[in-house]
Structure 1
Amino acid sequence: MEIPDELVGARVALRHRIGERDGRPLFTDAVGELSAEGSRAVVVRTRRGPVRVERSAVVAVRAVPPAPPRRAPLAAIVRLEGLCADAWPAEVERPLGAWRLRAAGGYTGRANAALALGDPGLPIAAALDEVRRFAREHRVPPRVHVPVGSPWDRAVAGEGWVLNVGHAKGAEVSVLVAPVPDVEPDRAAPPGLRIELPTRPPADWWPLAVGGPPTPAQERVLAGAPGTAFGTLRDPGGGVLGQVRATVVDDHVHVSMLEVVPAARRRGHATALLASAAAWGRERGARWAVLQVALQNDGARALYDRLGYVEHHRYRYLVPPT
Structure 2
Amino acid sequence: MEITAGGRFEVRITPTDVGRRVSVRRLNPDREGTERFTDTVGVLASWNEGVLLITARDGRIARIAESDLVAGKVVPPAPARRRGPAAGFRELAQVGARAWQPVESEPLGEWTLRAAGGFTRRANSVLPLGEPGTPLDDALARVTSWYAERGLPAYLQAATGAEGTQEVLCAELTARGWVREVSAGVRIGALAPVGDQAADVGHQVRLSRDYDRAWARRYQRVASLGPHVRQVLTAGPSVWFATVAGADADGPAAAIGRCVVDGRWAGFMAVETDPQARRRGLATAVMATLARQALAEGASAAWLQVEEDNEGALALYERMGFSLHHSYHHYRGPR
The alignment's TM-score, normalised by the length of structure 2, stands at 0.67
> How far apart, in 2, do the equivalents of 1:249 and 1:87 lie?
8
> How far apart, in 2, do the equivalents of 1:69 and 1:286 lie?
26
Question: Which residue is 2:300 aligned to?
Answer: 287
TM-superposed CA distance for 1:202, in Å, is 2.0
TM-superposed CA distance for 1:237, in Å, is 7.8
TM-superposed CA distance for 1:112, in Å, is 0.9
Q: How do 1:169-208 and structure 2 match up within 5 A?
A: 171-181=182-192, 189-208=199-218
TM-superposed CA distance for 1:80, in Å, is 0.2
Q: Which amino acid aligns with 1:274?
A: M
Equivalent residues of 1:175, 1:314 under 8 A apart: yes
Question: Which residue is 1:249 aligned to?
Answer: 262
Across the aligned residues of Structure 1 and Structure 2, the Cα RMSD in angstroms comes to 2.8
Question: Which residue is 1:120 aligned to?
Answer: 132
- Percent of residue pairs bearing the same amino acid type: 32
User: Which of 236, 239, 258 matches 2:271?
Assistant: 258
> How far apart, in 2, do the equivalents of 1:206 and 1:148 lie?
33
Q: How do 1:199-218 and structure 2 match up within 5 A?
A: 199-210=209-220, 214-218=225-229
Please state whether the residue corresponding to 1:243 is helix, strand or coil: strand
Residue 112 (structure 2) pairs with residue 93 (structure 1): no
Deviations 1:100-137 (A, max 9, x none): 10111211111111011112222222211121111111
Q: Which amino acid aligns with 1:96?
A: L
Equivalent residues of 2:187, 2:326 under 8 A apart: yes
Q: How do 1:23-34 and structure 2 match up within 5 A?
A: none
User: Which of 225, 231, 235 matches 1:224?
Assistant: 235
> How far apart, in 2, do the equivalents of 1:163 and 1:306 lie?
36
Equivalent residues of 2:261, 2:294 under 8 A apart: yes
Please state whether the residue corresponding to 1:285 is helix, strand or coil: coil
**C-alpha distance 215-77 of structure 1, shift in aligned 2 (>3 A):** same
Q: Which amino acid aligns with 2:102?
A: A
**C-alpha distance 71-179 of structure 1, shift in aligned 2 (>3 A):** closer
Deviations 1:87-108 (A, max 9, x none): 0011111111221101112111
Residue 99 (structure 2) pairs with residue 83 (structure 1): no
Stretches of structure 1 that go unaligned for 5 or more consecutive residues are: 1-67
Question: Which residue is 1:28 aligned to?
Answer: none
Q: How do 1:10-89 and structure 2 match up within 5 A?
A: 70=80, 76-89=88-101
Equivalent residues of 2:218, 2:254 under 8 A apart: no
Deviations 1:194-218 (A, max 9, x none): 0111111123211111466511221
User: Which of 298, 302, 314 matches 2:315?
Assistant: 302
Q: Which amino acid aligns with 1:263?
A: Q
The alignment's TM-score, normalised by the length of structure 1, stands at 0.70
> How far apart, in 2, do the equivalents of 1:173 and 1:163 lie?
17
> How far apart, in 2, do the equivalents of 1:128 and 1:320 lie?
9
> How far apart, in 1, do the equivalents of 2:189 and 2:317 lie?
9
Equivalent residues of 1:142, 1:319 under 8 A apart: yes
TM-superposed CA distance for 1:227, in Å, is 0.7
> How far apart, in 1, do the equivalents of 2:267 and 2:294 lie?
9
> How far apart, in 2, do the equivalents of 1:280 and 1:230 lie?
11
Equivalent residues of 2:116, 2:228 under 8 A apart: yes
Please state whether the residue corresponding to 1:155 is helix, strand or coil: helix
User: Which of 230, 234, 244 matches 2:245?
Assistant: 234
Residue 165 (structure 2) pairs with residue 147 (structure 1): no
> How far apart, in 2, do the equivalents of 1:309 and 1:220 lie?
29
TM-superposed CA distance for 1:250, in Å, is 2.1
Question: Which residue is 2:6 aligned to?
Answer: none
Question: Which residue is 1:109 aligned to?
Answer: 121
> How far apart, in 2, do the equivalents of 1:225 and 1:276 lie?
19
> How far apart, in 2, do the equivalents of 1:309 and 1:75 lie?
13
Equivalent residues of 1:92, 1:104 under 8 A apart: yes
Question: Which residue is 1:131 aligned to?
Answer: 143
Deviations 1:60-99 (A, max 9, x none): xxxxxxxx87469x98101101100110011111111221
